[in-house]
Amino acid sequence: MSLFMRALCALPAIAIATGAFAHITLETREAKAGSSYKAALKVPHGCDGSPIVRLRVEIPEGVFAVKPMPKPGWQIETVRGPYAKTYPYYHGVQLSEGVKEIVWTGKLLDEHYDEFAFNSSLGSDLKPGPIYFPVTQICEKGEIAWTEIPAPGKDGHALVSPAPALVILAQAASQDAGQTFKAGGIAVETPWSRATPGGAQVAGGYLKITNGGAETDRLTGGSFSAASRFEIHEMKTEGGVMTMRPLPKGLEIKPGETVEFKPGGYHLMFMGLKRGLKDGESVKGTLIFEKAGTLEVEYRVGPIGGGGAPGAGGHMHRH
């Protein structure tokens, strides 16, 4: 969980706070039900200077056919047990039991960073939203249990020791892939957001902007009718650490360039929500450009855990 996953159940990929992660997180934090999933646990530090000598991860129900990746210098143990149901696997094989826990034993100095990986399959009946992988890091002196899970419908950003979270995606519903808004040389495609749980104070905005004009333009701001504040943010990973920061000067878009705002990259933050966002509704807003001026848009709201607008490639393009 992560900063990207701790902010809101509705915003599994966006954090309210900025800065570096100090806790254990998953490198890939979103995946579709019914798909294969390679998990990489990112471990940034030991226990107050003491090196890690053992790392234990619990596998949640719905994640099956787990196979840990060997690591040079580390021994691997697995604990097997029955699944709550039987899962169909390759060539008609049905799996009724499998790995429920993985333990790596070795040594990771406090000043070093490492990743611990395993491959798995995700049940096709997993519901959209977060699932959690509780992790305990045992050190030469002390241990840290990253095992806290937010109560259903609660905001998890205040948890002290959150368990790494994976958001199960559903297809975003009721969104028109052809929905385009234009001003001057700027074209904005498929603005969208996600439904929010009760009490949420922040939501994310995603869209694709193409500058078809002859001059560089800049997105400098905007509004979202259901929120009191609108910000432009960037999220990226450097040296194994994910950070998020606002862009107070906005984002430059060069002639011929297309930029996609998506979970885990450039995105809009709608802060101080006046009400919850509901799946299937449309919310009015504006985007302000230096040259193209103010453009009125509508954001279609998809389900909690929605993976993106139809037609979106799920990545940022710079042409």
56 bridge partner residues: 103, 136
* Structure confidence by residue, pLDDT tens digits, 130-166: 999 999 999 999 999 999 998 876 666 778 899 999 9
Same domain, 146 and 224: no
* Structure confidence by residue, pLDDT tens digits, 244-270: 899 999 999 999 999 999 988 899 999
Instruction: Give the separation between CA 281 and CA 267, rounded to whole angstroms.
Output: 20
Same domain, 127 and 274: no
Residue 314 falls inside a structural domain: no
Residue 268 falls inside a structural domain: yes
Which CATH number goes with the domain that contains 46?
Answer: 2.60.40.2230
Which CATH number goes with the domain that contains 273?
Answer: 2.60.40.1890
Same domain, 250 and 142: no
Say if residue 305's pLDDT is above 60: yes
The one-letter amino acid code at 245 reads: R
Residue 129 falls inside a structural domain: yes
pLDDT of residue 316: 34
Instruction: Give the separation between CA 130 and CA 169, rounded to whole angstroms.
Output: 9
* Structure confidence by residue, pLDDT tens digits, 218-247: 999 999 999 999 999 998 777 767 788 999
Same domain, 9 and 121: yes
Q: What is the mean pLDDT of residues 202-230?
A: 95
- Give the residue numbers spanning the domain of 62: 3-169
| End-of-domain residue from the set 122, 144, 169 | 169
Residue 98 falls inside a structural domain: yes
Same domain, 26 and 152: yes
pTM reported for the whole predicted model: 0.51
- The structure tokens 């798909």 sit at 35
Q: Count how many domains the chain has.
A: 2
Same domain, 137 and 191: no
Q: What is the CA radius of gyration of the chain?
A: 21
Residue 175 falls inside a structural domain: no
Pairing mode of beta strands 186-194, 36-43: unpaired
Backbone angles phi, psi at 6, to 5 degrees: -90, -20
| End-of-domain residue from the set 169, 199, 226 | 169
Same domain, 234 and 189: yes
Residue 281 falls inside a structural domain: yes
Instruction: Give the separation between CA 283 and CA 298, rounded to whole angstroms.
Output: 5
- Mean pLDDT, the chain, whole residue set: 85
